[in-house]
């Protein structure tokens, strides 16, 4: 389920525990839902190993504008509309307007396109753990966007098993 669907299912009593993503809009859930932050995952730039940007340790917004248009690959807006809009807004706030050449439904496909040299992409830093070797990741400290993962459960009427699962998720994140 998408994050918003999980919140509604929790409110409706159809779900006991959820794991959701939120961006800069604060803690998800609201009244009647207990939330705990599990992790925050910033976005980084994925660049093909042979690309000129891969040789730079620090990438500034101006480096992404360049004289010749830089090709980008992105997660498909039709599949991930909110994420797509938020990433484009964060780039725009930094003065970067990407020219998206291709879209991919899944992050693994996005990384394969980057490795093939089709373009650069914004991906969550955690994607680097399973990325192909032909990709270099660069932090973008000026990019004001990250996804935070939360565990959610109903505040009232949660089963003992749901409370235990929620508590174990939170304890695991604190280690």
Kindly state the average pLDDT of the residues 4-24.
Answer: 87
CA distance 47 to 25: 28
Q: Which CATH number fits domain 40-144: 3.40.630.10, 3.90.1300.10, 3.40.190.10, 2.60.40.1930?
A: 3.40.190.10
Q: Which CATH number fits domain 3-39+147-174: 3.40.190.10, 3.40.50.1700, 3.40.50.10710, 3.90.850.10?
A: 3.40.190.10
For every residue of 4-35, DSSP letters joined together read HHHHHHHHHTS-SEEEEEE-TT--S--TTEEE
Cβ contact 41:124 at 8 Å: yes
Token pair recorded at residue 26: 């604060």
Answer left, alpha or beta for residue 125, where phi above 0 means left and psi between -120 and 50 means alpha.
Answer: alpha
Domain boundaries, the chain: 3-39+147-174, 40-144
- pLDDT tens per residue across span 106-123: 889 999 999 999 999 999
- pTM for this predicted structure: 0.82
Q: What is the pLDDT of residue 81?
A: 87
């Amino acid at each position: 389920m998408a994050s918003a669907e999980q919140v509604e299912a929790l409110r409706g009593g159809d779900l006991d525990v959820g794991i959701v993503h939120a961006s800069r809009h604060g803690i998800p859930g609201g009244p009647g839902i207990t939330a705990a932050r599990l992790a925050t995952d910033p976005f980084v730039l994925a660049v093909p190993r042979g690309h000129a940007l891969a040789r730079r340790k620090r990438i500034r917004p101006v480096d992404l504008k360049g004289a010749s248009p830089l090709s980008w690959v992105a997660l498909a807006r039709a599949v991930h509309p909110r994420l797509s809009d938020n990433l484009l807004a964060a780039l725009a706030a930094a003065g970067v307007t990407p020219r998206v050449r291709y879209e991919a439904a899944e992050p693994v496909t996005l990384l394969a396109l980057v490795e093939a040299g089709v373009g650069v992409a914004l991906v969550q830093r955690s994607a680097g753990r399973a990325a192909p070797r032909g990709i270099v990741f660069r932090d973008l400290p000026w990019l004001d966007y990250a996804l935070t993962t939360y565990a959610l459960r109903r505040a009232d009427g949660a089963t003992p098993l749901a409370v235990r699962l929620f508590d174990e998720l939170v304890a695991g994140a604190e280690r």
